[in-house]
């Protein structure tokens, strides 16, 4: 059974301010990212990874919350970041009407696991069932004005991103 581990599961801190809602039923772009760090391989490691990402995004970057809407782990577990219908902070100048999904790990150097890819496809199906009208799926590097290798050449190839 596929389920998304909620913010309570990873002991998320509250957002600094009230999250801005976004209507994903009118059409959104799904933007795939990678965290570019070491991928966790235990349940507690995943929780610590989520908390670390949130801490970096809030304290270092000064953002309201974790930037991604969802994070996919190599284990195939999916974690709620900002969640459904919330404006993220994942693609400079392009956060409205986008869904940010990040894969934990560095996919410029490593290949994604079969479990993470399967979980990603189930997440996309779940988002569509909830009403998100995904009109485009792309990698962070392909969005306008983004000077980055994200989400890494191996994810670009595995997901056929453009």
CA neighbor of 79 nearest in space, from 58, 48, 106, 55: 48
91 pLDDT band, cuts 50/70/90, is very high
User: What confidence score (pLDDT) does residue 78 get?
Assistant: 98
Answer yes or no: are the C-beta atoms of 101 and 33 closer than 8 Å.
yes
User: What confidence score (pLDDT) does residue 18 get?
Assistant: 96
2 pLDDT band, cuts 50/70/90, is confident
| Region 87-94 average pLDDT | 97
Q: Is the confidence at residue 23, as pLDDT, over 90?
A: yes
Q: Record the pTM.
A: 0.97
Question: Domain coordinates of the chain in residue numbers?
Answer: 23-159
First vs last Cα of the chain: how many Å apart? 30
E strand or H helix that includes residue 29: strand 28-34
User: What confidence score (pLDDT) does residue 35 get?
Assistant: 98
Answer yes or no: are the C-beta atoms of 119 and 107 closer than 8 Å.
no
Answer yes or no: are the C-beta atoms of 86 and 67 closer than 8 Å.
no
User: What confidence score (pLDDT) does residue 114 get?
Assistant: 98
* Coil vs helix vs strand at 96: coil
The token pair that represents 55 in the structure block:
């801490």
User: What confidence score (pLDDT) does residue 11 get?
Assistant: 97
Q: Is the confidence at residue 79, as pLDDT, over 80?
A: yes
pLDDT digits (tens, 9 = 90+) for 110-158: 999 999 999 999 999 999 999 999 999 999 999 999 999 999 999 999 9
71 pLDDT band, cuts 50/70/90, is very high
User: What confidence score (pLDDT) does residue 155 get?
Assistant: 98
- Kindly report the CATH class assigned to 23-159: alpha beta
E strand or H helix that includes residue 72: strand 70-72
Radius of gyration of the chain (CA): 14
Q: Mean pLDDT, the chain, as a whole number? A: 97
User: What confidence score (pLDDT) does residue 28 get?
Assistant: 98
């Amino acid at each position: 059974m596929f389920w998304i581990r909620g913010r309570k599961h990873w002991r998320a801190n509250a957002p600094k301010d009230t999250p801005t809602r976004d209507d994903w039923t009118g059409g959104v772009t799904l933007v795939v990212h990678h965290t570019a760090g070491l991928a966790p391989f235990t349940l507690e490691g995943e929780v610590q990874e989520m908390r670390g990402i949130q801490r970096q995004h809030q304290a270092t970057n000064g953002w309201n919350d974790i930037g991604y809407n969802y994070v996919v782990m190599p284990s195939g577990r999916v974690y709620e970041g900002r969640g459904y219908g919330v404006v993220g902070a994942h693609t400079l100048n392009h956060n409205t009407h986008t869904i940010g999904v990040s894969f934990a790990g560095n996919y410029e150097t490593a290949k994604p696991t079969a479990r993470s890819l399967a979980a990603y496809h189930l997440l996309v199906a779940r988002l569509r069932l909830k009403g998100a009208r995904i009109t485009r799926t792309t990698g962070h590097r392909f969005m306008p004005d983004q000077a980055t290798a994200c989400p890494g050449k191996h994810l670009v190839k595995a997901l056929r991103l453009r």
